Amino acid sequence: MSPARRTAALSIVTPFAAVAAAHVVPAATWLPVLRAVCCPRLAGAGRPDHVALTFDDGPAPESTPYFLDALDRLAVRATFFVLGESVARHPELSRRITQRGHELAVHGWTHTRPWLPAPVRDVRETERAVRVVQDTTGRRPQWYRPPYGILTAGRWAAARRAGLRPVLWTAWGRDWTADATAESVRLTVGADLRGGGTILLHDSDRTSSPGCWRAALGALPGLVAACRDAGWAVGPLAEHGVPEDRHGRVGPRGAPGLG
């Protein structure tokens, strides 16, 4: 290729590469070590005497009610990160979650991977999810967790525009796999569980192995008991004390509106 053609090609490719990089770089917060060190607020680090219990991917009528019953027995309230289209499909179940003392948060409209920048779509779908939660329950959600925990620049901006605080997690149970058991979920969460942490589990198998939600359900009593034995209360993010910066934002240090 001649120097002139190479220069012309670079002039076309470079802007697209810059946009792609800006889109993807914030998603590095998916990495647990980076998140814990650089952005504890985004990881969901709260007050040291409390553990936040959160669930993703619902509501699902075949599984979520079992979690509500289990949480009642344990006298625990939690935060459910819901998909907007599932709330629209199951409004009564969505209302039941809040009526039983739990908190609804936004997990997106659908459970998609953000491979390409789509800022207009991100804004539209995030705001649509906020509206359906508020219209269905009468309560405006406060929190946002992107599907797969992939917080791209577009999804972060869409969440902030919708008035949501992005929060990921400090410990998860790998409860979406086909070989997950109650014991494996309990041990996996326990390996990273600390006071002030945020636990990620799933109350639905919509995007994972069929029936795997039973492993998370079976792990709940042991996880709650372990937290209480350590002197930690268990509850929703609303009670977790995740700090805000002076701009009222939550996120990685050093990024505008994220630090």
- pLDDT of 46: 96
The answer to whether 162 touches 142, Cβ cutoff 8 Å, is no
Q: Which of 37-46, 120-129, 248-257 has the highest mean pLDDT?
A: 120-129
Residue partners of 28: CB distance under 8 A and separation at least 6: 34
Query: pLDDT averaged over the chain?
Result: 85
Q: What is the pLDDT of residue 118?
A: 80
> Across the chain, where does the E strand assignment appear?
50-58, 79-82, 103-106, 143-144, 165-166, 171-172, 198-202, 233-235
DSSP per position, 140-154: ---EE--GGG---HH
Residues carrying an active site annotation: 56, 202
pLDDT at residue number 177: 95
3-state SS assignment for residue 79: strand
Q: What is the pLDDT of residue 94?
A: 98
CA distance 189 to 176: 13
The 10s digit of each residue's pLDDT in 27-48 is 445 456 555 556 778 889 999 9
Retrieve residue 134's tokens. Answer: 């508020």
In the predicted structure, residue 243 carries a pLDDT above the cut 90: no
Q: Residue 17: pLDDT band by 50, 70, 90 thresholds?
A: very low
* Predicted confidence (pLDDT) per residue in 193-230, tens digit: 999 999 999 999 988 999 999 999 999 999 999 999 99
CB 76, CB 102: distance < 8 Å: no
For residue 4, what pLDDT band results from cuts at 50, 70 and 90? low
105 three-class SS: strand
The pTM assigned to this predicted structure is 0.83
Identity of the amino acid at 225: A
What's the pLDDT at 112? 83
pLDDT of residue 178: 94
The C-alpha atoms of residue 113 and residue 19 are separated, in whole angstroms, by 17
pLDDT of residue 19: 40
Query: 21-30, 146-155, 167-176: lowest mean pLDDT where?
Result: 21-30
Q: Which residue has the tokens 């590469």?
A: 17
238: phi > 0 → left, psi -120 to 50 → alpha, else beta; which? Answer: alpha
* CA 184/CA 179 separation, integer angstroms: 9
Is the omega angle on the peptide bond into residue 32 within 30 degrees of 0, that is, cis?
A: no
**pLDDT at residue 13 in the model:** 34
Structure tokens at 159: 């969440």
